[in-house]
Structure 1
Amino acid sequence: MKSKILKFTIVALSFPLLALILCNYIINSFGEGKTYSSVQEVPKNKVGLILGTAKKIKGGASNPYYANRITATVALYKAGKIDYILVSGDNGSIYYNEPTTIKNDLVDQGIPSEKIFLDYAGFRTLDSMVRAKEVFGLNELTVISQKFHNERAIYLAYKNDLKAIGFNAEDISLESGLKVQFREYFARVKVFIDLILKTRPKFIGDKIKIE
């Protein structure tokens, strides 16, 4: 009896582990050759989509993921690799507004305000990619985030009939970003759960043309 219980426990525990490994492998494999870390090598697209994150982390310190995405976006625009910028992030309350914060920092770095469009309903990466297609009418774009995030976004784009490449903002050390990297494994499993359940964005809304 104890042997059967042990075997059942091992099998039960192995399924989540296998799911983590398989989902991570699929997304990594799909992303091969679709992300770039060099401004010179990345192909040009009309629109670059910067995925939002908080400017500050708990305790008030600067968020290096945020700062590096801003730097990457400015570099792409100034190199002529994108003509417009779509900022997609969480605008969940009057006290928290990722898109506007990012836009202000981009403008401070010399990017014209009229070249920046805001998606206030990018609550999740899924929402950002689907809305880029259905609300902003894009068929292709360059996603701007860290490589691990770009890979997941590119896969979601593909599953929603959107052609995407990624420009990799500088990552941070594994030690400093361990919590984010760990969470990413489960976010990749969630990608496939959402695909199975045919999850839709929280909001769609009126169409907006980028030009």
Structure 2
Amino acid sequence: MSRLRRPGNGGAARWLRRAVLAVVVGTAVGLVTTVASVSWVRSQAEGHLFTVEDVPEAPVALVLGAQVDRDGVPSAFLAARLEIARQLLAAGRVRAILVSGDHMDWDYDEPGAMRRWLVDRGVAPEKVVLDHAGFDTYDSCFRAKRIFGVDRATVVTQSFHLPRAVALCRRLGVDANGVGDETVRRYRTAWRVGSTREHGACVKAAWDVLSGRDPVHLGRRESGVDDALRD
């Protein structure tokens, strides 16, 4: 009488090996993609990062949006960006300021808050132009070129974000240099989180450029920057 064979664990072992291999391969691909994207961003921005004192003159400062508090006041990170733009304008290194941010909902208005902050500190209202559809860095750079006709600009953001912003703007047709803020480094946790997120953001930036996607909202050509520079 033949014995019944007990089920072995060969199938489970094979499944485990495949799962481990998939994780290893996926991790390797992700690492290579991230390293390549970060390297691309840094190479594109190399030689185009400056301080307020030594940045070349440009017609426009492009200030990228960030969190606005519930009371409509720019966060410390955003206020620091705006202060750099104010200094650039006061020093004659730019002649107009384009503030680009999220205004997806009527009760959340980054560009409006940015403009109020600047005007409250002595910037002439006619020198501040609002882009209400700068939903991310790619959209802001794309729209600066396509919608507002910006050919040359000084991009303003935090220093950990600046290489990606400059790289995207330059790739999208804006002759961009950048000035980065370091003053909010004192918010160590937020700074560390933002710096860490840049690795994934660089991958997205590379994908956006390769795909050539249109922004969430494009719209028609606007004359705001032309008017501000003419005034």
Fold-level match, TM-score > 0.5?
Answer: yes
- 1:113 equivalent among 125, 129, 143: 125
Distance (Å, rounded) in 1 between the aligned partners of 2:91 and 2:100: 22
Is the 8 Å Cα contact of residues 55 and 67 (structure 1) preserved in structure 2? Answer: no
2:59 counterpart SS class? strand
- 2:84 equivalent among 48, 63, 72: 72
Is the 8 Å Cα contact of residues 73 and 113 (structure 2) preserved in structure 1? Answer: no
- 1:16 equivalent among 30, 34, 42: 30
Per-residue deviation, 1:192: 1.6
User: Structure 2 stretches of 5 or more lacking a match?
Assistant: 1-13
- 1:51 equivalent among 57, 60, 64: 64
Aligned ranges for residues 133-152 of structure 1 at < 5 Å? 133-152=145-164
Query: Is 1:200 matched up with 2:225?
Result: no
1:164 counterpart SS class? strand
Q: Tell me which structure has the larger Cα radius of gyration.
A: 2
Deviations 1:80-137 (A, max 9, x none): 1110000100001111000010000000111000011100111111111011111111
Distance (Å, rounded) in 2 between the aligned partners of 1:73 and 1:141: 11
Letter in 1 for 2:87: A
Is the 8 Å Cα contact of residues 50 and 178 (structure 2) preserved in structure 1? Answer: yes
* Partner residue in 1 for 2:171: 159
Q: When the two structures are superposed, what TM-score results if normalisation uses the length of structure 2?
A: 0.83
Distance (Å, rounded) in 1 between the aligned partners of 2:59 and 2:112: 21
2:60 counterpart SS class? strand
Q: When the two structures are superposed, what TM-score results if normalisation uses the length of structure 1?
A: 0.90
Per-residue deviation, 1:64: 2.3
Report % sequence identity.
31
- 1:188 equivalent among 202, 207, 216: 202
User: What is the root-mean-square deviation in Å for CA atoms of aligned residues?
Assistant: 2.2
Distance (Å, rounded) in 1 between the aligned partners of 2:190 and 2:64: 20
Per-residue deviation, 1:45: 0.5
1:148 counterpart SS class? coil
1:168 counterpart SS class? strand
